[in-house]
Amino acid sequence: MSIQWPLVFFTLFIGLGCGTFVGSVILTEWYGRAKQIRTISAGIAIVSIGVGGMSSILHLGHPERMFGALGHPTSGIFMESTMSFLLGLAIIVYILALRRNASDVTCKIIGTVGAVLAVGLTFVNGDAYVMAAIPAWNTWILPTLYLTSAAVMGCFCIGVLVVRTVNYSLTTTTVTTAESAATTETAATTSMIRCATWIVLAMQAVMLVAYLIHIAIAPYPDVTRSVARVLAGNLALLFWGGLVLLGLLVPAALMTKFYTKNSEGFSLKLGLASVLAAGVAFRALMFLLGSSVKQFF
């Protein structure tokens, strides 16, 4: 199957938006840290989801026909569109609550509802591709990989926002206050984000190995979706360079430089760019492995 680029960027930006929003809610509402990033992280999330939605529409030869699919509640388009709308609405309500200085409990409830919708939307994005006619896609591992991909992107995006906010505060306060803020308010936050990033990177590595095993043992084996093609064939560069190097090794190496200095802020931005590129590589690889079983019948 050829790469469906609009769908690649649809799921990529949806994953980025959902991962960023969930990470922000967990960090700010549940742990009460770095609350100054709440508005900007919610804004990034809703913009990303909007860009993803536009990318999805570009995939349709006749976008107006999408409304026909919305009449079938069991279709993937219906579920993705409905959850995207509900998530966007929840984020807007969350932003309004922040702007109106709503209570911490109110913001926490609204944010948690949105976070649950975000996790569900990310899983639905991956689950929409699970189908028996395409052996390489016919596994629950695929939507789980979509979840881990979103989590990794979200961790790096939140890390960039935290470092950016801290660096800004350092330039607008006195030296004594800045040093105190850097040591007392950000050390625990950066440690939490680093720990979460290590966990989701490890989960992504495990799920990637599990996906390779699935491809190896999937029914109706064919060279177009073989492990040999992925590890040593014409997809090897995409796998080793995109998924392993950019998706695992580079982010893991950059985690050792996660502090609040400007140079480390650049490292986090580089890490975000790296995992975004890896997200594109993973989705492209998925489509290139998407040959059907029709030749067997």
Model confidence at 260, pLDDT cuts 50, 70, 90, reads very low
pLDDT 10s digits, 64-90: 556 555 565 656 677 888 899 999 999
Q: Give mean pLDDT, residues 170-195.
A: 63
Q: What per-residue confidence (pLDDT) applies to 81?
A: 82
Q: Give mean pLDDT, residues 205-227.
A: 91
Q: What per-residue confidence (pLDDT) applies to 80?
A: 81
Q: What per-residue confidence (pLDDT) applies to 164?
A: 78
Give 168 or 287, the one with higher predicted confidence.
287
pLDDT 10s digits, 88-121: 999 999 999 999 988 999 999 999 999 999 999 9
Q: What per-residue confidence (pLDDT) applies to 282?
A: 94
Q: What per-residue confidence (pLDDT) applies to 209?
A: 95
Q: What per-residue confidence (pLDDT) applies to 69?
A: 57
Structure tokens at 278: 């890896």
Name the residue among 207, 232, 227, 243 with its Cα closest to residue 289. Answer: 227
Name the residue among 291, 284, 285, 282 with its Cα closest to residue 135. Answer: 291
Q: Give mean pLDDT, residues 201-211.
A: 95
Q: Give mean pLDDT, residues 180-184.
A: 51
Q: What per-residue confidence (pLDDT) applies to 266?
A: 77
Residue given tokens 């290590």 in the structure block: 198
Q: What per-residue confidence (pLDDT) applies to 224?
A: 86
Residue 182 scores a pLDDT above 80? no
- Mean pLDDT (the chain) is 85
> CA angle, corner 29, sides to 24 and 33, nearest 5?
75
Residue 248 scores a pLDDT above 60? yes
Residue 132 CB: number of other CB atoms within 10 A? 10
| CA 212 to mean position of chain CA atoms | 21
Residue 295 scores a pLDDT above 70? no
Distance CA 103, CA 112 (A): 14
- HEC profile of the chain: CCCCHHHHHHHHHHHHHHHHHHHHHHHHHHCCCCHHHHHHHHHHHHHHHHHHHHHHHHCCCCHHHHHHHCCCCCCHHHHHHHHHHHHHHHHHHHHHHHHCCCCHHHHHHHHHHHHHHHHHHHHHHHHCCCCCCCHHHCCCHHHHHHHHHHHHHHHHHHHHHHHHHHHHHHHCCCHHHHHHHHHHCCHHHHHHHHHHHHHHHHHHHHHHHHHHHHHHHCCCCCHHHCHHHHHCCCCHHHHHHHHHHHHHHHHHHHHHHCCCCHHHHHHHHHHHHHHHHHHHHHHHHHHHCCCCCHHHC
**CA-based radius of gyration for the chain:** 20
